């Protein structure tokens, strides 16, 4: 079981930017669907963005046009570029890989589809 590790979180002002990274030591996930998820205090975890092995991306409506998911297969690294941050983006962000061979959209998030959860990285956006 490969556990992924997220980094790059921190504090930002509304309108600012942050870039999150996700790595899995010893794990090559170029052929897998990968995703970013977030969980705000008192709320359930939700899907943010996914990227399929062919580079197809999909986003939650709440982040569309502001966030960009990408992957560098040579570095085995997944990224989430977050621009125009809003206070409601405040959450712990996680990455994971899809384990059944599909690539469900963020709106169809179900925890049973994803594996490799790390500790997450905290993002705090102030107004």
* Residues near 68 by beta carbon (within 8 Å), at least 6 away in sequence: 49, 57, 79, 80, 81, 83
HEC profile of 3-47: CCEEECCEEEECCCCEEEEEECCCCCCCCCCEEEEEECCCCCCEE
Give the pLDDT score at 5.
94
Q: Which two tokens stand for residue 74?
A: 């040579």
Residue 26 has pLDDT above 80, yes or no: no
pLDDT in tens, 77-124: 999 999 999 999 999 999 999 999 999 999 999 999 999 998 999 999
The whole-angstrom separation of Cα 108 and Cα 104 is 6
pLDDT in tens, 52-78: 999 999 999 999 999 999 999 888 899
Angle at 16 between CA 13 and CA 19, to 5 degrees: 115
Q: What is the DSSP letter of 101?
A: S
């Amino acid at each position: 079981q490969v556990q992924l590790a997220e980094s790059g979180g921190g504090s930002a002002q509304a309108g600012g930017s942050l870039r999150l990274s996700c790595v899995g030591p010893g794990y090559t996930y170029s052929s897998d669907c990968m995703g970013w998820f977030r969980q705000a205090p008192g709320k359930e975890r939700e899907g943010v963005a996914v990227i399929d092995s062919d580079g197809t991306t999909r986003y939650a409506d709440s982040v569309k046009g502001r966030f960009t998911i990408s992957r560098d297969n040579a570095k085995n690294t997944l990224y989430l570029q977050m621009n125009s941050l809003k206070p409601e983006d405040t959450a712990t962000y996680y990455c994971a890989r899809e384990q059944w061979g599909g690539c469900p959209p963020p709106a169809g998030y179900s925890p049973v589809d994803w594996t490799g959860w790390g500790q997450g990285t905290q993002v705090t956006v102030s107004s």
